[in-house]
A and B are shown apart, each in its own frame.
Chain A
Amino acid sequence: MLQNAHPLAETVARFVWWLPTVPLLGFLINGALSMFAAAKLGPADPSAADHHGHSGEAHDQPHAAEHGAEHGAADAGHGDHGHVVRHKYAPIVSIVGPGVMVLAFGLALATFMAMRSAESPAPYINTLFSWLPVGDLKVDAALQLDALSMVMVLVITGIGMLIHLFSVGYMQDDPGYPRYFAYLNLFVFFMLLLVLGANYVVTFVGWEGVGLCSYLLIGFWFSDKANADAGKKAFVVNRIGDFGFMVAMFLLFSHLGTLDYAAIAESADKLPAGGIVVTAICLFLFLGCAGKSAQIPLFVWLPDAMAGPTPVSALIHAATMVTAGVFLVARSSMLFSLAPVASLTVALTGAVTALFAATIGLKQWDIKKVLAYSTVSQLGYMFVGVGVGAYSAGVFHLITHAFFKALLFLGSGSVIFSMHRAYHATHNHGDDAQDMRNMGGLKQYMPITWGLMWIATLAIAGVPPFSGFFSKDEILGAAFARAHGSTLADASLLGIPGNIVLYTVWIFGLAAALLTAIYMTRMMLYTFHGPNRTGDAARPHLAEAPWIMTGPLLVLGVLSLAGGWLNLPEVVTDLMPLGPTAKLEHWLEPVVGEATKRVAGAGTPVAASTEELLIGFAVAIAIAGITIAVMRLKPSALVPKSAASPSTGLQSVLENKWYVDEAYDAAIVRPTYTFSRSVLWTGVDIGLIDTILVNGSAAAARFLGWIGSQLQSGRVGTYAWLLVLGAVLLLRAFARAS
């Protein structure tokens, strides 16, 4: 009904369901190729193999597989020098894998054009079929195309396409090549489903699906227990979040009777603003977001997730999946804007996470770990944005972050690729290709990567005119503005007035910005500047990665540089006419505009002069951070990892990530296992139920039987006595009765 009347119904947008379907087809093709390559069917009678010994073939296969997989673990720095054999289906996969992404991106662009010309604020809903029709619960398999999902689709397909292309080079020698692309395509499918879902349930399908793909890709080189552990950890921690998501859905359904975004947007007002129900819904939703987007207390999985291939870290654990939480808050802005307490929680959690992760980032040696903590920190910024009700600012940072963090990750991937190749060529298996202490001075060997990564670093540090400056500044500005006057400032979180909370958030944000500038500069200095520490033998083998990898880097470099153009603030456009003001904010207006207004309330906007002051302050902090790092850190004083002495004091606390993993393990994981094993299993199940109740009743029956059997002495005399006694008693009873 709605979809017929919608102006988009006649355009290319009606093929929106092809968007996720195309990557799904890619997954099916690549998955099938992977299976075909692996298929070596077993004997008709499996147990017969035991009796006939091992055939020669049976020996061959695992050997080859083992060799191949170990080679695949090269990324983790444990490369084996063997003959590089490309997968036999690699050419087809190289076409199919990135090809579907190109198609999807093209379709996304076309849809975007159609949407721009249609200029309809109402979301376009494309219902495919009725999925769960039960009583008054109607869940359709439906896709929703609106401003927010369109932006996300463009980011996912665009960045996804670049990363797929990069992967062609990065993963070229991996024996699991088709499997890799199958997983990657599947991830894109689920991610598109997540952002396109027209109700919470379809979003949840994508939500869990991306978690699944993340699990599979983190554990891609599963032969290493650490990788498999990391994958499992990611999935389980995400599931804790999913618990929150599910409970939020149950609450929504039992109070509003629907799970469709459109219907909820209409009826959300029925829930009393600031009431316990809507607050509970939002807090539970945020638990889900915290899991997916690695916020305190559920951030622990993301650093471990770096065990996956580096392009995966770029796509899933930096650019797209981890930002799903931010997307979900923005998507649920109609609810969050009604729950100031929940919004304050979101903002505060984001700010604390941003600062906390930044401190850890200061002392990491693994280049990917630095970036991982930087991602956690930046996600914190985004949550500050959506938490203070500046939804478009949060999404804006999401986009720019996708640009520069993807660039950073792919750049680091390039570096690792080069490092690994150098070690591989020199038969060096001991040194870690990801440790910055083994790098240094790479500028002269990989100038393009060096330049592009500096762009990204300046962007993330918030130096104008790079993209990160605009988005980060907008978030901090919004936090400051909300503290001055909004529904949030009027509310209170655990007895603390909202405006104090918001000022705290703003200060934390600034502090985190300083730390960000420091640790990113540190990373750049240690990696690219100073003397080279790779080793004399390996040094001549260091070189720039092939063009299939550098090409996507260039594109991302341009985006990181110019991404700010998407949403120029008024203060800037006043100074110089770079382009239209607040494009993204206007674009997202139909989705989050109302909620933003509701949060901002009647608060007075911050004066332009104050705003200029704030911007100046932020820029000063970024520059100060970079300066501090350049002044204090001496790359020339570093020694290679193998020669480094263990760190002490606060430094070791930071290096060990504040011992959060260990604390969780001791406080939650191990007690749960111990409780399950000793109390529930051996205590209740085996002890109480089986031994006492089940076997106990059997023993009681046996005991009664034993008593009975003792009467059967076999002595006729005893029987006679008993018989007579019985007769006497019977007669007695009879006589008494008569």
Chain B
Amino acid sequence: MLAESLTLSAALFTIGVVGVLTRRNAIIVFMCVELMLNAVNLSFVALSRLYGATGQVFVIFVMTVAAAEAAVGLAIIIAIFRHKKSVNLQDINLLRG
């Protein structure tokens, strides 16, 4: 089942990437990133059948980071929305200074 899992992982990852590239809604882009993380998790888990449970440990780390990221990221989106009344990425270019 390893090959299938990896293929699925690649497909999901790519879908996430295409989502990030095509959508402008910050929240949906964010969710696409979560999808990409999940795709990676799937690879970890699939490969942990071969190499031992360490892969699963990493999945747990990834999840933690994802959780933290979601919290902070969404907080940022809220802050931006308050400021700009929009979550459209085209309207957000604060980084430009």
Chain A interface (Cβ < 8 Å from any Cβ of B): 712-717, 720-721, 724
Shortest C-beta distance, B93 to chain A (Å), equals 4
* Chain B residues within 8 Å of A716, by CB: 26, 29, 89, 92, 95
Task: Evaluate contact between A715 and B17: CB separation under 8 angstroms.
Answer: no
Verify B89–A715 contact, CB threshold 8 A.
yes
Partner of A724, one of B17, B24, B90, B93: B17
Instruction: Tell me the bound Cα distance from A88 to B95 in angstroms.
Output: 83
Q: Does B97 reach chain A (CB closer than 8 Å)?
A: yes
**B96 & A712 in contact (Cβ 8 Å cutoff):** yes
Task: State which of A714, A715, A720 has its C-beta within 8 Å of the C-beta of B20.
Answer: A720
Asked whether, in the complex, the Cβ of A714 is within 8 Å of the Cβ of B96, the reply is: yes
What separation, in Å, do the CA atoms of A721 and B24 have in the docked complex? 13
Tell me which residues across on chain A come within 8 A of B95, comparing CB atoms.
712, 714-716
- With A715-B89, A715-B90, A716-B89 as known contacts, state yes or no: A724 contacts B96, CB within 8 Å: no
Chain A residue at smallest Cβ distance from B20: A720
Provide the bound-state CA to CA distance between A715 and B21, in Å: 12
- Cβ of A714 and Cβ of B93 under 8 Å apart? yes
Task: Give the nearest-CB partner of B95 in chain A.
Answer: A714
Interface pairs A-B: 6 shortest CB-CB: A714-B96, A714-B93, A714-B95, A716-B89, A717-B89, A720-B20
Output the nearest chain B residue to A727 by Cβ-Cβ distance. B17
Whether B97 pairs with A714 at a CB distance below 8 angstroms is yes
Nearest-Cβ distance from residue A76 to partner chain B, whole angstroms: 73
A-B contact pairs, 18 of them (CB 8 A): A712-B96, A713-B93, A714-B93, A714-B96, A715-B92, A716-B26, A716-B89, A716-B92, A716-B95, A717-B21, A717-B24, A717-B89, A717-B90, A720-B20, A720-B21, A720-B29, A724-B17, A724-B20
B interface residues, tally (CB under 8 Å): 14
Verify if B50 is at the interface (C-beta below 8 Å from A).
no
Which residues of chain A are near B97, meaning CB under 8 Å? 714
The 8 A CB mask of B15-50 against A (1 = contact, 0 = none) is 001001100101001000000000000000000000
- In the assembled complex, B94 has its CB within 8 A of some CB on chain A: yes
CA distance A720 to B94 in the complex (A): 16
Is the beta-carbon distance between A721 and B21 smaller than 8 angstroms? yes
Choose among A712, A714, A717, A721 the residue with the greatest number of B CB atoms under 10 Å from its CB. A717
The answer on a CB contact under 8 Å between B21 and A724 is yes
A165 to nearest B CB, angstroms?
88
| Residues of A with C-beta under 8 A to B24 | 717
> How far is it, in angstroms, between the C-alpha of A724 and the C-alpha of B89 when the chains are bound?
17
Count contacts between A and B, CB distance < 8 Å: 31
Q: Which residue of chain B has its CB nearest to the CB of A714?
A: B96
Residues on B with C-beta less than 8 A from A712 are 95-96
Per the bound structure, the CA–CA distance linking A720 and B20 in Å amounts to 7
**CA–CA, A715 and B29, complex, Å:** 14
For B92, list chain A residues within 8 Å (CB): 715-716
CA gap between A466 and B94 in the complex, in Å? 106
- CB <8 Å contact, A713 and B96: yes
For the complex, give the distance between the alpha carbons of A717 and B24 in Å.
8
CB distance from B72 to the nearest CB of A (A): 15
- 14 additional contacts, CB 8 Å, given A715-B95, A720-B29? A712-B95, A713-B96, A714-B93, A715-B90, A715-B92, A715-B93, A716-B26, A716-B29, A716-B92, A716-B95, A717-B24, A717-B90, A720-B20, A724-B17
Q: How many whole Å from B16's CB to the nearest CB in chain A?
A: 11
Q: Determine how close the nearest CB of chain A comes to the CB of B13; give it in whole angstroms.
A: 10
**Residue ID in chain B nearest A725 by CB atoms:** B21
Q: Render B79-97 as a binary contact track against A, CB cut-off 8 A, 1 for contact.
A: 0000000000110111111
Q: How far is the CA of A234 from the CA of B82 in the complex (A)?
A: 86
For A712, A720, A721, A724, which residue has the most chain B Cβ atoms within 10 angstroms? A720
Distance, CA A724 to CA B92, complexed state (A): 20
Return A682 CB to nearest CB of chain B, in Å: 40
The residue of chain B having its C-beta at the shortest distance from the C-beta of A717 within the complex is B89
Chain B residues within 8 Å of A724, by CB: 17, 20-21
Cβ of A731 to closest chain B Cβ, rounded Å: 11
Q: Mark B43-77, 1 if CB is under 8 A from A, else 0.
A: 00000000000000000000000000000000000
Closest Cβ of chain B: how far from A735's Cβ, in Å? 13
Chain B nearest CB from A164 CB (Å) reads 83
Closest to A720 in B: B20
For A721, give the chain B residue with the smallest CB separation. Answer: B21
Q: How far is the CA of A712 from the CA of B95 in the complex (A)?
A: 8
Report A166 CB to chain B, min CB distance, Å: 86
Shortest CB-to-CB span from B23 to chain A, Å, is 9
Q: List the A side residues contacting B93 at CB < 8 Å.
A: 713-715
Contacts of A714 in B (CB 8 A): 93-97
**Nearest-Cβ distance from residue A710 to partner chain B, whole angstroms:** 11
Contacts of B89 in A (CB 8 A): 715-717
**CB closest residue in chain A, given B23:** A717
**Complex alpha-carbon distance, A724 and B13, angstroms:** 12
Chain B residues, Cβ within 8 Å of A720: 20-21, 29
Complex CA gap A721/B29 in Å reads 13
Min Cβ gap B32→A in Å is 10
Most buried by A among B24, B95, B97: B95
A355 CB to nearest B CB, Å: 85
User: CA separation between A713 and B90, bound complex, in Å?
Assistant: 11
Q: Which residues of B contact A715 (CB under 8 A)?
A: 89-90, 92-93, 95-96
Q: Chain A residues near B96 (CB, 8 Å)?
A: 712-715
Q: How many Å lie between the Cα of A721 and that of B96 in the bound state?
A: 17
A707 CB, min distance to chain B CBs, angstroms: 16
CA distance A101 to B21 in the complex (A): 103
| A124 smallest CB distance to B (angstroms) | 88
- Closest A residue to B94 by beta carbon equals A714
The CA of A187 and the CA of B9, in the complex, are separated in Å by 102
Least Cβ distance of A734 to chain B in Å? 14
Chain B neighbourhood of A717, CB < 8 A:
21, 24, 89-90
| A714 to B97 Cα, complex, angstroms | 8
B94 to chain A, nearest CB (A): 7
Which of chain A's residues has its CB closest to B24's CB?
A717
Cα(A712)–Cα(B93), bound, Å: 10
Tell me the smallest distance from the CB of B4 to a CB of chain A, in Å.
21
Contacts of B20 in A (CB 8 A): 720, 724
Report the minimum CB–CB distance from A738 to chain B (whole Å): 16
Query: Which residue of B has the minimal Cβ distance to A724?
Result: B17
What residue of chain A has the Cβ atom nearest to residue B92's Cβ? Answer: A716
Considering the complex, give the chain A residue whose CB is closest to the CB of B18: A724
Closest Cβ of chain B: how far from A715's Cβ, in Å? Answer: 5
A716, B80: Cα distance in complex, Å: 14
- Give A713 to B94 CA distance when docked, in angstroms: 10
B39 to chain A minimum Cβ distance, whole angstroms, is 14
Q: Name which residue of chain A comes closest to B26, CB basis.
A: A716
B21 contacts across to A, CB distance below 8 A: 717, 720-721, 724
CB of B43, distance to nearest CB on chain A (Å): 14
Smallest Cβ-Cβ distance to B96: which chain A residue: A714
- Chain A residue at smallest Cβ distance from B33: A720
A464 to chain B, nearest CB (A): 103
Which A-chain residue is minimally distant from B17 (CB atoms)? A724
Min Cβ gap A727→B in Å is 8
Residues in A neighbouring B90, C-beta threshold 8 A = 715, 717
Shortest A523–chain B CB gap in Å is 88
Residues of B near A713 (CB, < 8 A) are: 93, 96
Report the minimal beta-carbon distance from B58 to chain A, rounded to whole angstroms: 20
Smallest CB gap from B97: residue in A: A714
How far does the alpha carbon of A714 sit from the alpha carbon of B90 in the complex, in Å? 10
